[in-house]
Structure 1
Amino acid sequence: MKQTTNDKIILYPSNWLYNAGVVGLLKVLRYVEMNFEVSEYVMINRDAIGKSYNGIFEYHKNVLEENFAIWGKNKRYPNYIQAKQKKFFEDHYVKALKNIEKNHNKNCSWCEGYFIPPNLLKEIESEFTGEDFYSFIEQREKFQGIHFAGLGAAITELPNSFWNLNSSIPICHLCSYLIIFNHLAFIPTSEGEIFINAPNFKLIYDLNNFAEEILQKSKEYQIRKILGSSLLQWAIKRRTILGAWTMMNIEVIVKRWHKEEKKWIIDYFDLPQ
């Protein structure tokens, strides 16, 4: 869920993929030294959208020491945009995102639905460098393979159980953008990449930062054993009532690459166990 104010955007927890996108966004904003607030929700400045786009490339280059792309046949988000659409996306579409507003005529399955205003879309249409502007916009409004190859499928392919056997689910322009940050929230381990999800962004943010720290020190142990015991200690130190914590539905998403099938496999387990 998202809520907008005059100069702020407020992000509320939703599904794990959306939440991972928000946490990945925060990593980039922290890297570019842009302020944000984390509590039950996340509050960012509207200007954070533009800075986060430039920042994600800088973060990959300087921190992860790898190249990153969202155009063409790239590693993480194949054909999220076409190479010939890159200039339009950077110079016009991303800049327009800071003007998102709720659109009562469109739906988003992950939030209340915030889109670039129709009049602004009309303005930037003349700058479009692809073949079909409306197909480009439609791709930003339906969850599919360009957003997450392990869960989304091309609209013409078989349905995926992630969206309850529908050929696609509607998402809004900002949700579509946030997704390209989700991989940054996952913590590399010997068993796969993990992300800890919870109903509260403060808890999500703290747990993942804590898990990243302890996993770097305990690489030889199984993820489940490390997190089960260490997070229990973490909760006790913060005077969390165990009974209430158990009811919070804290889950760990484990993402691993299947070499034979050449696709991402997603597993889940709950904490504490």
Structure 2
Amino acid sequence: MTNQNTLQLYPSNWLYNAGVIGFLRILEPINKKSVEEFINNKTESIISIPPNSEDMLLNKWKELSIESKKNTSPLYGRKGYYANQTDNSIKNKIALLTRKETSENKNKNKTRKSLPEYSCIFCTNKVKVGKTNATFLNQSFGKLLLGSEKTFRNMYWNNEAHDFVCEKCEFIIICHHLAFTNLSDKSEIFINAPSFQIMYYLNKFTQEIFGSSPIQDARSKREILAMSVIEYATKIQANLASWVGMNIEIISRHGDKIEFFSLPYEVTKLLADRRIAAILSQIGEYSILNLVLDQDFSSLMEMGYRLLRIGLIPKQYRGKNEKDFVNQILQLEKNRWDPALVAQQIFQLCAYIHEKHKTNAYGYHKH
């Protein structure tokens, strides 16, 4: 992190990353800049915070939080998700984040030589501070995730909180709820990735595709992650393939349960290929996507052959078995109308997958 009201942020664990994405949502209307301007294809994000913006940041945090926590338990307060937090304590966190480094502050730091030094668990920034003034990770940063030092001590802490949070990270962490997408099954998800740019777009696409889906359109977490990767690969002019060797995962919260979902490396690499992503997007059928996710390519080819045979039969002459198979496999009306075209797309998809496998095996494209 740098001085003079400018922050240089690097991806860390999922809680911090979600906080950064949530914080960027708050900052966007205040800075009158789109989130895209704060992120790039590199790992870090460099953002500037307007001076004297504490009230604006607090109000926007509350405004977005009301929207995200509608009809649920209070977000903050004695029994809130961010336990025991008040407007004043949150505003103080904002002030610490936005405070410029001055010569006076530097002189104060020099007088702290005798104080213990702590390393922030999120940004690794080292700070000399007295233990009574240090902030440690506890339920004030999310009671679903963390315990209370007074009422819920645990063995991980050795009965005492020890994960230090620096003043530049405190407010960012309590923005993490703003990065989650509410799904129709009442769960909330955040997609974590090694780059803020990838995180932002994957979660944006998730919100657009699944954020308001009705109950009957509820999808598995792996389907959601796969569709988000496909959307990124087809719409963003950036190289996702260079990141797929690192973990891209979904964090899912439902009630008091937190779960993690990810796709196998080989599958993510396939979905990150623009040609494969484009044809899967064109087909738009989850039955076909799931065969790719299962890496069951022989069944995919068999499906293509059967759809081709059915497609060559005039619609009025198709038997019950043929009609049932088409209706079971294909949900989109355009595909049901022309299963032979879907078969051709499946064959093209299989060809791209085969070529991708050969490229991975031998390290070159065969023309």
TM-score for the superposition, normalised by structure 1: 0.72
- CA, structure 1 residues 63+232, in 2 after alignment: closer, same or farther (shift >3 Å)? closer
The equivalent of 1:204 in structure 2 is 199
> Is residue 159–residue 167 contact of structure 1 (8 Å, CA) maintained in 2?
no
Give 5+ residue unaligned stretches, structure 1: 122-133, 258-263
1:63 Cα deviation after fit = 7.8
Partner residue in 2 for 1:267: 259
| Aligned match of 2:172 | 178
Aligned CA distance change for structure 1 residues 93 and 37 (closer, same or farther; 3 Å): closer
Corresponding residue SS for 2:123: coil
User: CA offset at residue 197 of structure 1?
Assistant: 0.4
Indicate how the Cα distance of structure 1 residues 93 and 230 shifts in structure 2: closer, same or farther if over 3 A, else same: closer
* Structure whose alpha-carbon radius of gyration is higher: 2
Q: 1:70 aligns with which of 67, 76, 79?
A: 76
Partner AA of 1:111 in structure 2: C
Alignment of 1:135-214 (within 5 A): 135=132, 137-138=133-134, 141-156=135-150, 157-160=153-156, 167-191=161-185, 192-214=187-209
Q: C-alpha distance in 1, partners of 2:212/2:145? A: 31
User: Deviations for 1:110-164, whole angstroms, at most 9, x for unmatched residues?
Assistant: 113276x97xx9xxxxxxxxxxxx85x43xx21111112122112351134xx89
Structure 2 counterpart of 1:26, one-letter code:
L
Aligned length: 239
d(CA) in 2 for partners of 1:175, 1:95 = 12
| Structure 2: runs of 5 or more not aligned | 269-292, 294-367
Report the 3-state secondary structure (helix = DSSP H, G, I; strand = E; otherwise coil) of the residue aligned with 1:30: helix
Q: Secondary structure at the match of 1:143?
A: coil
Q: CA deviation at 1:227?
A: 2.8
SS at match of 1:29: helix
Instruction: Output aligned runs, 1:46-57, within 5 Å.
Output: 46-47=49-50, 50=54, 51-57=56-62
What's the CA shift string for 1:150-204, capped at 9, x where partnerless? 22112351134xx899843112112222111111100001341000001111111
Q: Give the corresponding residue for 1:38.
A: 39
Aligned partner of 2:10 among 5, 12, 28: 12
**Of Structure 1 and Structure 2, which has the larger fraction of its residues in helix?**
2
Q: How far apart are 1:97 and its partner, in Å?
A: 3.3
Contact 1:23–1:185 (CA<8 Å) still a contact in 2?
Answer: yes
Contact (CA 8 Å) 1:253, 1:269: kept in 2 or not? yes
Q: Separation in 2 of the partners of 1:95 and 1:5?
A: 14
Offset, 1:58? 2.8
The one-letter amino acid paired with 1:43 is I
Q: CA deviation at 1:33?
A: 4.7
**Alignment CA distance shift 1:237-1:46 (3 Å):** closer
Specify whether residues 206 and 229 from structure 1 end up closer, same or farther in structure 2 by C-alpha distance, changes over 3 A only.
closer
Shift of residue 26, structure 1, vs aligned partner: 1.1
Q: CA RMSD in A?
A: 3.5
* Native 8 Å contact 1:114 1:173 kept in 2: no
d(CA) in 1 for partners of 2:67, 2:213: 25
Higher strand share: 1
Secondary structure in 1 matching 2:139: coil
C-alpha contact (below 8 Å) 2:93/2:170 kept by paired residues: no
Q: CA deviation at 1:80?
A: 3.1
TM-score, normalising length from structure 2?
0.55
